Amino acid sequence: MLTADLARSRTRNGSIKPLFIDPAKPQYRETAQELIDIFEDHLGEPKGNLEETIDQLTIADTDYKIVQGLAKLLTDECEFETVAATDPQEIRQALFAKANESYPIVRQPTLGDDTQRLEVYSAVADQLGISLKECYRGMYADLEDNMLLVRFGDLRVDEYAGDSSSSTTRLTGDSEETYAEDTISVDWLLTRYNLALAQAVLYDATQMRIQVWDHFNTVFSYVKLFGLMHRIYPIDESGERVESTDVAAGYEAILDGPASLFSKSRKYGIRMANFLPALPLCDRWEMEAEILDGERRSTNSGSLTFELDHTDGLSSHYGDQGKFDSDLERTLSQKWERATTDWELRREDDVLDLGVEVMIPDFAVEHPDGRRAILEIVGFWTPEYLEEKLAKIEAADLDHLLIAVSDRLECSATDVEKVSDQVLWFKSGIHVYDVVDLADKHAIQTSVERSHD
Amino acid sequence: MRLTFDDGTLLLEDAPDSVPYAEWDDRVDEYRAQAYRYHDLRQWATPSSRDQQTLAQATMAGDSVEDDARAYSDLTLSPAVAIEPRGYQQAALKAWIEHDRRGSVVLPTGSGKTFLAIQAIADAGVSTLVVVPTIDLLNQWHATLTNAFGDQPPDDVGVLGGGSHTITDVTVTTYDSAYRYINEYGDQFGLLVVDEVHHLPAPTYRQIPEMTIAPYRLGLTATYERADNQHEALDELLGPVVYEEDVDELTGEYLSDYETIHLEVELTADERERYDEEYQLYRDYVDAHDFDIWKERGYQEFLKRSSYDSQGRRALIAKQRAEEIARTAEKKLDTLDNLLKRHYDDRTIIFTANNDFAYGISQEFVIPCITHQTATEERTDLLDRFRTGEYSMLVTSQVLDEGIDVPAANVGIILSGSASKRQYAQRLGRILRPTEDRKPARLYEIIATNTKETYVSQHRRRGVRTDADS
């Protein structure tokens, strides 16, 4: 993500908008390519050199914020490492101890070269069993500027070394090797940049209102992942709130954090910024955030509105969740069609608000006589996760919720202390009749007999 | 009722509707309160016999309160400090203890606020978080606390900020790191010490005391009042001012005579050429646009223009380059070389205005070096060795700032610096602390002749004199 000083936005009439760049514009594409080349060229080089080269690009360029912003995103894809023959701090300590006996270490024109300094360095090099050059270079090898760029995206510098403690760890210029296809491209960078500009506006957000019409599971699992709290309302196609989830086309959620209850807090802005990339995973979404205006340290600030939606052309680098689940779900649907039972399996995307999190069951299991149960499939889990989940279900009085839990992980039913009889364990696939049995036991009678087309 | 610490707040599970300080949180269907209410809530839930019990309290007392919020531990510490506390320090500590260990103490800079805090930490006997404004102060506090408590806490003094992330029973952090992480660690400390507490009322920083449950709180500052009157907010979050010591009674105590020597060096022919070229580029631009750059406002206008005018941007870079040439002039090293020959038996601190130059000198003359990049532990170690006399020299960039206790040196060498009057005066102050044998201090300033530095130096000395007169 961008640092706050690299944010670019415009404020007008109480609303704030990031200054997005057009990824098709040749000038940006050139800059992006140039930067990517610079990073590749600096593999195995000190970080300081890399930064200096980037700075050179911005000398007479008022777009330096864009250049530095793009460079920041590329730096996020990098790894820098201290490469030294011996722990630099150890070298320093030995040098200062030695030097302290030898002060003044000064130039001695009468004696030719600075022999005294050389003596100190050589003595310490011998003492530590390293070369003079390694001693001199190693002294401050752990400074940020002196750390070496060892990875950029998928590009990695090869290391010639036995074990890592060996003093022969060395980098050579011609040993770079591409392990995988280069994933960092001009398009990748410019797309990510626009997203990062939007995220940067959110650093000062106090509250976020989202509306989504698909991918609920994904969106709400990211809400939870980033520690945001929510209030959820079902909405119709046009985004108007509706009474019940039965007639909901989508969901609106107000997101903030625990302390937002007491006062507007910027504290959760960073969480909202982290959450933002989850939204472009939806086909249709809208976002409206309240942004505190003014200096972070000043005591009076107004607020601005920041709006985004799916037409803004943002795209996400976050994973769409539930690949595993969806395979399972597809198989279950297929099996169900071949089975003979009166119970019907229907896709379900009601959002059940459990307070601290939401649960989005995968299916509803319905009988023509009006009985109904809902089914959630849990693919990956830990005992703690499952116990917590069961506790929440119990607290929410969801007696008709069936949970199918995969048994193919190391953990088994015995590791979970409190197992509800609403849980169905399965190994590789879910059996239709097991679900039917459970549905018979736990389904509830819905008030109206359902008729489906 | 069950109290839990939830992400910087207190969740009050199964609380009666009569619970004070709380708001109903419809998101989780429980009452929630701000973390700093912990002490009050505990008192409300367990009324002591001398308090008049209201009906609600009596009811509550019947129910048990399950406290899952407190995650801090009791500590037994006795500070290893050789110095006898001064009278006003003892009075301040007493006043604070009598105010239920809450409130701020206002003491002038250099009067031993850190020392007072150490006494307070030992007295409170609970895990403590110390919040300070800068990385430099973070380092300084770490060093002082380490010296005072030695091996007594089960772990070393923790550091949160400046690249470190270790939380222990006694932890030092910066305002910025505290703001960022307080929701995670706000349950782990029973005493909150806030240095330079007048910064705290800013809306972001205010969440630091809000999100911690610490029943004991101590604020330290030399200037409590804020122009915006926001210091009133401190009363609620930290407690009132419990002790105030007049500035007049303490100043003068540490001043000693010193001698300042200004040395000018020429730029080399190559440096001169590059300097003139860059400086001219900058001057031409400034003159063409008539910016009065010696005034704050004129300079701001110039900066603003450089953000959208590419020539302006180039002019800004030219200015920076010219300054860099003057700052790191090669001949300064020759002069330094001569000074080190003369003073190798003294205790010398060399100041530079940038890290690269400091590290360059460190490598060239094999002198221990401290910059803002130096890790806290190593810095503490280097200062310690300088203090004990094991090291006689130290080179540092602009890290020895506001309120920092630098071990005494009797020779200071300024190789370059900024025009800030205040900084200069403080740097002088550092060196001018009396050494044990009362040897007069000497300060050298090495500047590049016929550069802007010459002007800055004069400007700077005027500033100091003005400060001293006022």
What are A201-236's pLDDT values in tens digits? 999 999 999 999 988 878 888 888 888 998 989 899
Amino acid at B190: G
- The C-alpha atoms of residue A169 and residue A152 are separated, in whole angstroms, by 19
SS3 B436: coil
Distance from CA of A361 to the nearest CA of B (A): 20
Write out residues 329-348 of B within 8 Å (CB-CB) of A.
334, 337-338, 340-341, 344
- What is residue A176's predicted lDDT score, i.e. its pLDDT? 40
For A143, which residue in chain B has the nearest alpha carbon?
Answer: B373
In terms of Cβ atoms closer than 10 Å to its own Cβ (0-12, 13-18, 19+), residue A262 is: middle
Angle at B41 between CA B38 and CA B46, to 5 degrees: 125
Would you list the domain boundaries of chain A?
Answer: 4-83+144-187, 88-138, 203-312, 323-445
The answer, for B14 touching chain A at a CB cutoff of 8 Å, is: no
Whether domain B87-249 has CATH 3.40.50.300: the reply is yes
In terms of Cβ atoms closer than 10 Å to its own Cβ (0-12, 13-18, 19+), residue A109 is: exposed
- What is residue A172's predicted lDDT score, i.e. its pLDDT? 40
- Please state which of the ranges A331-335, B248-252, B365-369, B397-401 shows the lowest mean pLDDT: B248-252
- What is residue B82's predicted lDDT score, i.e. its pLDDT? 56
Residue carrying the six token digits 């703001």: B179
- The C-alpha atoms of residue A306 and residue A18 are separated, in whole angstroms, by 9
- Please state which of the ranges A53-67, A349-363, B129-143, B199-213 shows the lowest mean pLDDT: A349-363
The answer, for B28 touching chain A at a CB cutoff of 8 Å, is: yes
Question: What is the dihedral angle through the alpha carbons of A279, A283, A284, A288, rounded to the nearest 10 degrees?
Answer: 20
Amino acid at B182: I
- What is residue B149's predicted lDDT score, i.e. its pLDDT? 87
Highest mean pLDDT among A254-263, B383-392, B424-433: A254-263
ipTM (interface pTM): 0.78
Tokens matching residue B452: 């802007």
Q: What pLDDT band is residue A351 in, cutting at 50, 70 and 90? A: confident
Q: End-to-end CA distance of chain A: give it in Å, rounded.
A: 48
Nearest to B215 by CA among B153, B129, B95, B105: B129
**Tens digit of pLDDT for each residue in B14-59?**
999 999 999 999 988 899 999 999 999 998 887 664 455 555 555 5
Distance from CA of A37 to the nearest CA of B (A): 24
Distance from CA of A296 to the nearest CA of B (A): 7
Q: How many CB pairs under 8 A join A and B?
A: 124
- The C-alpha atoms of residue A222 and residue A156 are separated, in whole angstroms, by 31
Say if residue B61's pLDDT is above 80: no
Pairwise CB contact (< 8 Å): B363 & A139: yes
Say if residue B227's pLDDT is above 80: no
- What is residue A157's predicted lDDT score, i.e. its pLDDT? 85
Q: Alpha helix (H) ranges present in A159-215?
A: 186-202
Least CB–CB distance from B368: residue in A96, A121, A355:
A96
Please report, rounded to a whole number, the percentage of residues in chain B having pLDDT higher than 90. Answer: 37
Contact A441, A402 (CB under 8 A): no
Pairwise CB contact (< 8 Å): B211 & A259: yes
Run of H or E including A391: helix A383-395
Least CB–CB distance from B317: residue in A59, A139, A355:
A59
pTM exceeds cut of 0.80: no
Task: Give the residue-averaged pLDDT of B189-218.
Answer: 94
- What is residue B402's predicted lDDT score, i.e. its pLDDT? 37
Whether domain A203-312 has CATH 2.40.160: the reply is no
| The listed CATH number (1.10.510.10, 3.10.450.50, 1.10.10.60, 3.40.1170.30) that belongs to domain B2-67 | 3.40.1170.30
Task: Give the residue-averaged pLDDT of A358-379.
Answer: 83
Tell me, rounded to whole angstroms, the distance of Cα A245 from its chain centroid: 30
Rounded (to 5) percent helix, strand, coil in chain A? 40, 20, 40
Say if residue A40's pLDDT is above 60: yes
Distance from CA of A179 to the nearest CA of B (A): 31
The answer, for B303 touching chain A at a CB cutoff of 8 Å, is: no
Q: Under CATH, which architecture does the B258-265+329-469 domain have?
A: 3-Layer(aba) Sandwich (3.40)
Nearest to B134 by CA among B195, B180, B80: B195
**C-alpha torsion sign, points B358, B363, B366, B370:** positive
Tokens matching residue A210: 């989202």
- Per the model's pLDDT, the better-predicted residue between A143 and A423 turns out to be A143
- What is residue A380's predicted lDDT score, i.e. its pLDDT? 61
Strand B411-414's sheet: what is its strand order?
B258-265, B441-448, B411-414, B348-351, B393-396, B369-370
Write out residues 225-254 of B within 8 Å (CB-CB) of A.
228, 230
- What is residue A286's predicted lDDT score, i.e. its pLDDT? 97
Task: Give the residue-averaged pLDDT of A87-105.
Answer: 89
Q: What pLDDT band is residue B361 in, cutting at 50, 70 and 90? A: very high
Highest mean pLDDT among A18-32, A342-356, A380-394, B455-469: A18-32
Collect all residues of chain A within an 8 Å Cβ-Cβ radius of residue B177.
none
- What is residue A403's predicted lDDT score, i.e. its pLDDT? 85
Strand A15-18's sheet: what is its strand order?
A9-12, A15-18, A303-309, A285-292, A205-212, A250-256, A229-235
Least CB–CB distance from B344: residue in A58, A103, A265:
A103
Q: What is the CA radius of gyration of chain B?
A: 26
Contact B434, B256 (CB under 8 A): yes
In terms of Cβ atoms closer than 10 Å to its own Cβ (0-12, 13-18, 19+), residue A452 is: exposed
**Tens digit of pLDDT for each residue in B401-451?**
434 455 677 888 888 654 444 455 455 555 555 556 666 778 888 888 877
The answer, for A433 touching chain B at a CB cutoff of 8 Å, is: no
Those residues with Cβ within 8 angstroms of residue A220's Cβ, 6 or more apart along the chain or in another chain: A230, A253, A351, A357, A358, A360
Pairwise CB contact (< 8 Å): B205 & A297: yes
Those residues with Cβ within 8 angstroms of residue A255's Cβ, 6 or more apart along the chain or in another chain: A207, A208, A209, A210, A223, A228, A229, A230, A268, A272, A275
Say if residue B466's pLDDT is above 60: no
Pairwise CB contact (< 8 Å): A136 & B364: no
- The C-alpha atoms of residue B464 and residue B468 are separated, in whole angstroms, by 6
- Cis check: omega of the bond before A104, within 30 degrees of 0: yes
Parallel, antiparallel, or unpaired: how do β-strands B30-34 and B22-25 relate? Answer: antiparallel
Strand ranges (E), B56-180: 66-67, 102-106, 128-132, 158-161, 164-166, 170-174
Q: What pLDDT band is residue B181 in, cutting at 50, 70 and 90? A: very high
Parallel, antiparallel, or unpaired: how do β-strands B2-6 and B66-67 relate? Answer: parallel
Least CB–CB distance from B307: residue in A62, A145, A301:
A62
Would you list the domain boundaries of chain B?
Answer: 2-67, 87-249, 258-265+329-469, 269-327
**DSSP class of A46:** B
Task: Give the residue-averaged pLDDT of B362-381.
Answer: 88
B112 φ/ψ sector (left φ>0, alpha ψ -120 to 50, else beta)? left
Pairwise CB contact (< 8 Å): A258 & B9: yes
Q: Residue B257, Cβ neighbours under 10 Å: how many?
A: 9
The answer, for B322 touching chain A at a CB cutoff of 8 Å, is: no
Residue carrying the six token digits 């001219």: B280
The answer, for B178 touching chain A at a CB cutoff of 8 Å, is: no
Tokens matching residue B229: 């009157």
Task: Give the residue-averaged pLDDT of A107-125.
Answer: 76
Question: Rounded to whole angstroms, what are the CA distances from B182 to A397, B67, B188, B308?
Answer: 35, 20, 10, 39
Q: Which of B11, B357, B365 to mutate to test the interface with A (most CBs of A within 10 A)?
A: B365
Pairwise CB contact (< 8 Å): B368 & A259: no
Collect all residues of chain B within an 8 Å Cβ-Cβ radius of residue A139.
363
**C-alpha torsion sign, points B214, B216, B221, B227:** positive
Say if residue B470's pLDDT is above 70: no
The answer, for A101 touching chain B at a CB cutoff of 8 Å, is: no
- The C-alpha atoms of residue B261 and residue B447 are separated, in whole angstroms, by 11
Those residues with Cβ within 8 angstroms of residue B413's Cβ, 6 or more apart along the chain or in another chain: B336, B339, B348, B349, B350, B351, B443, B444, B446
- What is residue A263's predicted lDDT score, i.e. its pLDDT? 87
Q: Alpha helix (H) ranges present in A404-447?
A: 432-442
What is the topology classification, in CATH, of domain A323-445?
Answer: Trna Endonuclease; Chain: A, domain 1 (3.40.1350)
- What is residue A430's predicted lDDT score, i.e. its pLDDT? 84
Is B258-265+329-469 in the same CATH topology as B2-67? no
Longest Cα–Cα distance in chain B: 88
